Amino acid sequence: MAGTLVVDLTRALAGPQAAMMMADLGARVVKVESPGTGDDTRSWGPPFVPGSDGDEVATYFLSCNRNKESVALDLKSDDGRAVLAELVRRADVLMENFRPGTLDRLGFPPQLLSELNPRLVVLSISGFGHDGPEGGRAGYDQIAQGEAGLMSLTGSGPEDPQRVGVPIGDVLSGMYGAYGVIAALLERERTGRGQVVRTSLLASIVGVHAFQGTRWTVAKEVPRAQGNHHPSIAPYGLFHCRDGAVQIACGNEGLWRRLCDEFGLEPDGAGMATNAQRVAHRPQVIALLEKTFADLDKADLLQRLSVAGVPSGRVRTLEEVYEWDQTRSQGLLVDVEHPTLGTVQLPGPPLRFFTPDGSETTPVHHASPPLLDQHGDSIRAWLWEGDDLGKTLRRD
């Protein structure tokens, strides 16, 4: 995405996630923030980390704003609107996640954006969609998880709805938004014109219902939460042993038989011979395996499962995940130099790139999330004075 300019009017998480994905791919992302307060997530904590200037930095903000520049603009002022208009004229992409109609009230309806820059691609993320009977509702992740059915699928049982442990609706909206923007940029290469891309927390969560969605739309079966076991495959889930639990996934009959061979079980026993039978008798399958594993420690159990070729794994804490050599081998941690925190380590981009001969071309240099208005002067100099120093975000 080098050479692509993204104007990021978003805040919180869904929009900043989309803009950060573009920035990770090399786009120049100019984050427009409110003077004085900035992005909402600058105050979302604890945890906060004290900086050398005495200010505290929210780790929430650090999670979704790497590789960006920050300029503070009052979009209700003539000066703020003038700077934004000039940014729009030069931009390839504008991203916003205001409530529907807010950008219009600020004086930048889609028609004006198109007049300022006919090639502009606009990403607009909302809570529940920009139209429809509830299109104007404010969108917050946990509310969307409930309204979009995800909480009804998550938890120990139907009476125990649970939110996913990360703001998955926000993250998915950002991912779908970035995906839509790149598609619109590709189409612009053919047509010469930009367009508006819309998504929402509702759409993004419904978009990942996967097989749970078709259980209802096709089979008219209403899925319900059932804890840590797969609704359509058995055994597939979390199984307890002497000192904890492991996860096992027998995705086909061959794997089921390997499991049985390793632990001396009868694969064709009553209610066990096929996946459909095992799903129908899931409590018995769970009880049988947990009885079999009762005298085994996790490490020994995982070793035997590995030798038998049965997919399995442990449940790691985030501390364990980030210390895991496999995580580090995939480039999933990056070091950045923050203006007040010094060197900090952030979760890194999930994509890697290679040439056909196997040489890795993944970017390895990243810039820290910016201080509020950190790049305000250089951005204004670039816009009004033609200062070349503002053309690209320096990451080295």
Q: What is the pLDDT of residues 242-291, one digit of tens each?
A: 999 999 999 999 999 999 999 999 999 999 999 999 999 999 999 999 99
Q: Look at residue 86 and tell me if it is in a domain.
A: yes
User: Using an 8 Å Cβ cutoff, are 57 and 48 in contact?
Assistant: yes
Helices 78-90, 376-385: crossing angle, 10 deg rounding: 70
Beta bridge partners of 31: 8, 70
Shared domain check, 197 and 270: no
d(CA 364, CA 29): 17
φ and ψ of 181, to 5 deg = -65, -45
Same domain? For 32 and 134 the reply is yes
The number of residues in the chain equals: 396
In a domain? residue 384: yes
The Cα–Cα gap between 242 and 240 comes to 7
Read off the pTM: 0.92
Note down the domain range covering 295. 236-316
Same domain, 21 and 138: yes
**What residues are labeled active site?**
170
Residue 310 in contact with residue 262, Cβ under 8 Å? yes
Point out the domain boundary residue: 293, 316, 339.
316
**Tell me, what CATH number does 39's domain have?**
3.40.50.10540
Within 13 A of 117's CA, how many CA atoms are on the CB side? 23
Domain assignment present for residue 279? The answer is yes
End-to-end CA distance of the chain, in Å? Answer: 18
Per-residue pLDDT of 306-315, as tens digits, reads 999 999 999 9
CATH number assigned to the domain comprising residue 262: 3.30.1540.10
From first to last of its 396 residues, the chain has per-residue pLDDT tens of 999 999 999 999 999 999 999 999 999 999 999 999 999 999 999 999 999 988 999 999 999 999 999 999 999 999 999 999 999 999 999 999 998 889 999 999 999 999 999 999 999 999 999 999 999 888 899 999 999 999 999 999 999 999 999 999 999 999 999 999 999 999 999 999 999 999 999 999 999 999 999 999 999 999 999 999 999 999 999 999 999 999 999 999 999 999 999 999 999 999 999 999 999 999 999 999 999 999 999 999 999 999 999 999 999 999 999 999 999 999 999 999 999 999 999 999 999 999 999 999 998 899 999 999 999 999 999 998 765 544 444 443
- Token readout for 282 is 């899931």
Q: Does any domain span residue 154? A: yes
Residue 102: C-alpha distances to residues 7, 23, 86, 122, 239 (Å) = 17, 25, 20, 14, 50
Angle 63-166-338 (CA atoms, 0-180°, nearest 5)? 10
Q: Does residue 221 belong to any structural domain of this protein?
A: no
Asked whether residue 10 falls in the same domain as residue 105, the answer is yes
Residue 157 lies in a domain: yes
Contact criterion met (CB below 8 Å) for 375 and 70: yes
User: Among 272, 290, 316, which residue terminates a domain?
Assistant: 316
Q: Is the same domain home to 49 and 167?
A: yes
- Pair (50, 193) in one structural domain: yes
> Is 203 in the same domain as 241?
no
Query: Do residues 62 and 154 both lie within one domain?
Result: yes
Rg (CA), the chain: 25
Is 321 part of any domain?
no
What is the number of domains present in the chain? 2
